[in-house]
């Protein structure tokens, strides 16, 4: 843990230091490499300077001197402490991770959060092919924890928040730990602006491209050579939602993706497939419904129906949990403002949203 050496605040400020400021020296332990803390070409130091505009940061050797308002200096000290904890775990830091850590600590300071950045950033789910899959935000951490603690979990949020990817990682983890015997991945056969019947080829040819995102995630998490064998054995099944009707799925980890495109009847059908020893994760974005006009989204309805039932959990992610390009979060927020400003007259008639 980085140690701090507070410098008593003088009664009369010396030249260059204003009254009401605090000055602390953070001593970084010798086992923590400064290049890991500051980043290549000081890229992480630049992130700190942009995030703490009211604090002056001076680095000499393994000492970081911070001068500024007392609250900001204390927050920066906590951030450096969390960064060193992450580095001690063997994980590298990125500018994105540091920015998210700043946001978590500011949320704590405002009384709207209680998770330590180091706990979020070092929570490993699955290691595969030289990379580790882990949550990157507080809400993602809570989502992953909910999957561990509940039988049925709904992950609801905008594009890029990791809803499906994290659920897939938990499914693979459960399979490898022999907690389940198989993984079942499914989607409703509704495509934005297209109908499968107009696509060329056989039924398999029509369906496979639509299910491709699920295959892509599997390839990130498993040896690609093992996937055909696991699918041939029925250990992993990727199929349209219609294929679930009439089945009972025991000892399985079941994921319904793009659930906003289910009807209420389809959602009920899917949820009642749950068998003994199984777990269900339902993911979707209620702002991107591609159902025909007049058809209500099963994902919207189910929140009113099942909210409050024991062992059913709703995890709600927001634009702050988007882990794609920074612009994706801003785009999500912009569309949200646009939707709020639209006249509500046509909304009750089930107009399609894209």
Query: Exposure pattern of 198-218 as b/e (b: 16+ CB <10 Å)?
Result: eeeeeeeebbeebbebbbebb
SS3 43: helix
Superfamily per CATH, domain 21-122? K Homology domain, type 1 (3.30.1370.10)
Is 129-333 in CATH node 3.40.50.300? yes
Give per-residue pLDDT as tens, 206-259: 556 667 778 888 888 998 889 999 999 999 998 889 889 999 999 999 999 999
Residue ranges of the domains in the chain?
21-122, 129-333
Q: What is the mean pLDDT of the chain?
A: 85
Q: Is the pTM of this model over 0.95?
A: no
- At 2, the pLDDT band (50, 70, 90 cuts) reads low
Mean pLDDT lowest for which of 149-153, 192-196, 237-241?
192-196
Sole residue written with tokens 């509500």: 344
- Cβ-based burial of 99 (10 A; exposed 0-12, middle 13-18, buried ≥19): middle
Cα gap 182→253, rounded to integer Å = 6
Distance separating alpha carbons of residues 98 and 138, to the nearest angstrom? 13
CA distances to 120, 239, 321 from 328, in Å? 22, 29, 10
Domain 129-333 in the same topology as domain 21-122: no
Q: 35 and 62 in contact (C-beta within 8 Å)?
A: no
User: Which of 146, 140, 133, 183 has its CA nearest to residue 158?
Assistant: 140
Write the CB contacts of 332 (distance below 8 Å, at least 6 apart in sequence): 158, 159, 160, 287, 319, 322
Place of tokens 């009972």: 248
pLDDT per position as a tens digit, 297-332: 999 999 999 999 999 999 999 988 888 766 777 787
Quick check: 148 pLDDT over 50?
A: yes
Tell me the C-alpha to C-alpha distance, in Å, between residue 117 and each of 13, 107, 108, 296. Answer: 35, 11, 10, 39
Mean pLDDT of 147-155: 97
Give the side-chain half-sphere CA count within 13 A for 351: 9
Q: Residue 208: its pLDDT value, please?
A: 62
Helices (H), 89-155: 95-109, 117-121, 138-149
pLDDT at position 46 is: 94
What would the two tokens of residue 287 be?
């702002």
CB burial readout 113-143, b (16+ within 10 A) else e: eebbbbebbbeebbeeeeeebbbbbbbbbbb
Residue 6 has pLDDT above 80, yes or no: no
């Amino acid at each position: 843990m980085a140690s701090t050496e507070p410098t008593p605040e003088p009664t009369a400020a010396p030249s260059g230091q204003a009254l009401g400021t605090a000055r602390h020296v953070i001593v970084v332990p010798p086992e923590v490499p400064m290049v890991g803390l500051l980043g290549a070409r000081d890229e992480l130091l630049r992130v700190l300077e942009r995030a703490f505009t009211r604090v002056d940061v001076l680095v000499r050797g393994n000492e970081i001197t911070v001068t500024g308002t007392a609250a900001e200096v204390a927050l920066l000290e906590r951030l450096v402490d969390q960064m060193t904890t992450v580095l001690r775990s063997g994980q590298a830091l990125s500018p994105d991770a540091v920015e998210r850590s700043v946001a978590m600590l500011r949320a704590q300071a405002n009384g709207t959060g209680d998770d330590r950045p180091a706990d979020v950033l070092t929570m490993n789910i699955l290691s595969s092919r030289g990379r580790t899959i882990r949550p990157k935000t507080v809400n993602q951490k809570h989502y992953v924890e909910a999957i561990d603690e509940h039988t049925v979990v709904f992950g609801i949020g905008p594009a890029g928040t990791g809803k499906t990817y994290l659920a897939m990682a938990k499914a693979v983890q459960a399979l490898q730990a022999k907690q389940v015997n198989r993984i079942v991945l499914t989607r409703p056969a509704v495509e934005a602006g297209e109908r499968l019947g107009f696509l060329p080829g056989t039924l398999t040819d029509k369906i496979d491209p639509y299910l491709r995102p699920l295959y892509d995630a599997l390839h990130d998490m498993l040896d690609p050579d093992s996937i055909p064998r696991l699918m041939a054995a029925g250990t992993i099944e990727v199929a349209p939602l219609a294929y679930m009707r009439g089945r009972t799925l025991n000892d399985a980890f079941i994921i319904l993706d793009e659930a906003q495109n289910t009807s209420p009847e389809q959602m009920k059908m899917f949820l009642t497939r749950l068998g003994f020893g199984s777990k269900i994760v339902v993911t979707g974005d209620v702002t991107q419904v591609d159902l025909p006009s007049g058809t209500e989204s099963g994902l919207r309805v189910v929140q009113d129906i099942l909210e409050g039932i024991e062992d059913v959990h709703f995890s709600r992610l927001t634009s702050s949990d988007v882990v794609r390009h920074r612009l994706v979060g801003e785009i999500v927020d912009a569309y949200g403002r646009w939707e709020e400003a639209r006249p509500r007259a046509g909304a009750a008639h089930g107009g399609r949203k894209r």
